[in-house]
Structure 1
């Protein structure tokens, strides 16, 4: 039996292409406001390769703002819904690895999540930046899991809390993470918090402290990005 049209690779690829074009439109028509950070290089060049940390529902513009021709590898959930995300990343030349970060103790990553972290660590060793959603799919929104902290410990590379916001947007209030749909013809901002390092010998208590630190830093970066685009002081 032929698979449903909506589930076919051809249709998903076509939808991903449309999404990529829309994201490019938002970027092209939403100039960065004063005070925005450079997504890569500049003041943060000494911390590259780094681990770009993002929140679910706030990450959709990332591929359009990341510098062209600069390697980036992104972790994407293995869920069926996330396949479109992976396909869209391909349109920007961004490599996707499938997996999810740890929800609880870092020792309890499932097989797929562990393989994804190993792949990301190899990418960092090769000098590539990586991107990872810090909070866990359908968990507590804007509360980091331990998976991203474990990657920082294993790789020795810093976590870079990143947020992107636009002045024109639609928030899907009923979604678990309050996904933000960024709209064109407004203003945009990129904010990056101070790098966070995790020691190679960090114990469980230190890992939890770092998990809380990246949570706080990402929430602060997100609030600052929205403050900039909304013109608040």
Structure 2
């Protein structure tokens, strides 16, 4: 039975159907939630610094395609090669975002999961004027920022833009990253925290300091986004 279910989920028609439904569901959520922006002029602040690396916590990622508000805001997002990644890739491409397939893991599975190729592709995308979006967590360790995005910023010379999005109505899954499924007809908040710049000559100590700063900034963005939609009890947990 498990094998049959696994084969069904891997079939292209099921993946396309799920991806299509997910994209249209997220579009409904975005259109029916009244969003606030913190700071209010966040787009005016960010635009002169594009292209940039947009960082967010895993499990808060579903509405991130909608931060792209103009056709000139070209963007690509890093998505894993895992089966679940196929659904995500189909959904975000339907929402007008390009995909880079691979792992953000810089541990022992980095080569096996396509991490080297994905890293190179992200650098090239930034050089070509695309914004690049990626979760910041170490895989399977929620709310622990990895070194991958810091390395990407050092190599590309582009700023990291930490941000969080939250809605007042949601369903939370009991998985490793406590995934939030946003619901329509409520309030939403997008919070951006000051950019992080990684010098091209940053040594290990500097990179660790900036990694910790990214982690703290993402937690603060999450706390503020949750508080603004009336979810202070969830602050720090998406």
Would the TM-score normalized by the shorter structure come out above 0.5?
yes
Mapping for residues 1-233 of structure 1, pairs under 5 Å: 4-33=7-36, 35=38, 37=40, 41-69=43-71, 70-103=73-106, 109-110=110-111, 112-138=114-140, 140-172=141-173, 174-230=174-230
Secondary structure of 1:142's aligned partner: strand
Answer yes or no: is the 8 Å Cα contact 2:53–2:133 preserved in 1: yes
The CA deviation at 1:78 is: 1.7
Shift of 1:175: 0.5
Equivalent position SS for 1:141: strand
TM-score if structure 1 supplies the norm length? 0.90
CA shift for structure 1 position 109: 4.2
What is the CA-CA distance between 1:137 and the residue it aligns to? 2.5
CA contact (8 A) 2:79 2:102 kept: yes
Please give the alpha-carbon distance, in whole angstroms, between the structure 2 residues aligned to 1:62 and 1:166.
12
Q: By how many angstroms is 1:80 displaced?
A: 1.6
Q: 2:143 aligns to what SS in structure 1?
A: coil
Quote the Cα distance in structure 2 between the aligned partners of 1:143 and 1:37: 28
State the secondary structure of the residue aligned to 2:28. helix
Gaps of 5+ in 1: none
Q: Which runs of 5+ in 2 are unaligned?
A: 233-238
8 Å contact from structure 2 (residues 37, 191) kept in 1 = no
Alpha-carbon distance, 1:170 to partner: 1.4
Change over 3 Å in CA distance of 1:29–1:210 after alignment to 2: same
Q: Distance in 1 between matches of 2:40 and 2:177?
A: 25
What is the TM-score when the length of structure 2 is the normalising length? 0.88
Q: Distance in 2 between matches of 1:187 and 1:38?
A: 19
Q: Which residue of 1 aligns with 2:235?
A: none
1:68 is displaced (CA, Å) by: 4.5
Q: Distance in 2 between matches of 1:27 and 1:36?
A: 19
**How much has 1:204 moved relative to structure 2?**
1.4
